[in-house]
Amino acid sequence: MKTIENEPRTAIFAGGCFWCMEEAFERLPGVIEAISGYTGGWVENPTYELVSTGETGHREAVKVIYDPSRISYERLLEVFWRNIDPTDPYGQFADRGEQYRTAIFYLNESQRELAEESRRRLELSGIFDGPIVTEILPAGEFYPAEDYHQGYYFRFETNYKHYKLYSGRMGFIKSVWEKNRYFRLFPERERYWLGYVKPGDSELRNLLTPIQYRVTQLGDTEPPFRNEYWDNHEEGIYVDVVSGEPLFSSLDKYDSGTGWPSFTKPLEEWAIIEAEECEGFLCGREVRSRFADSHLGHVFDEPTPTGKRYCINSAALRFIPREELKRYGYIAYEELFG
């Protein structure tokens, strides 16, 4: 039977408590639905009470229905690994037992190969000190969980947030991935920022430093000559500190004498949005990122090769050195530097 290229597809992941994994996947553009359930065991039609004994062989899991024209299986794998502790063989965070062990359940050979490749790359990354113990297993029967488990993260938002925090999952994810935010398992295949969805204000406050939040979200301006990149001369690219979308290249950066990073043009034409900004009788052109809608700085008409100077706040940027472009998913920009 011929597969229609963009028809909905299915993926199955076990990452401990299915409430948390349902939230992680269901918020992604291109995911049609994430269903909490049980899989991997030998008891037919198991209940939550039975699975909770740890004696049915089942694990709490989510079945992800997704549109491959909008999101790839590789992207789903990326999100999975970023929401678990893959070094824990006995459960996840406060939840202990067989039913909370992690696994990727593959439905075909392509999924198996990609899952195994993602695990190898994660092992080689050195992000985790211990061995990766998450299993990769053939998918069996998936049983949807009881109705009261479905969509728990938004139907019982307060209870869910307390659980995610006090179980230890939230703190673990932040401690590991805040410093590895731009690492990508499949950098040669994915421009992940194209489907970026801006998180809520409370999450942004946790994600960003105070100055990063004030600049990108409130439109503040950092002090000149006392910011991170005004005199940075390394080769590489500058990306949005919130979303990671590429913005500027060191090849177009120059010392304007103003004390802020200055560029003659954006990395790509679509990379930024200009908007008129007025204060009293003075008007200028504000510069914002396209996908995260971060305030970056301003653009001025000046005698540069392009006739423009993009005056950008360091706090709105993250610098990716030339030698790290592939590791962090910017392989397409390596050719800029020969």
Instruction: Tell me the catalytic residues.
Output: 17
**With contact defined as beta carbons under 8 Å apart, do 279 and 272 qualify?**
no
CA distance 130 to 134: 12
Q: What is the dihedral of CA 238, 243, 246, 248, to 10 degrees?
A: -40
Which is it for strands 317-321 and 103-106: parallel, antiparallel or unpaired? unpaired
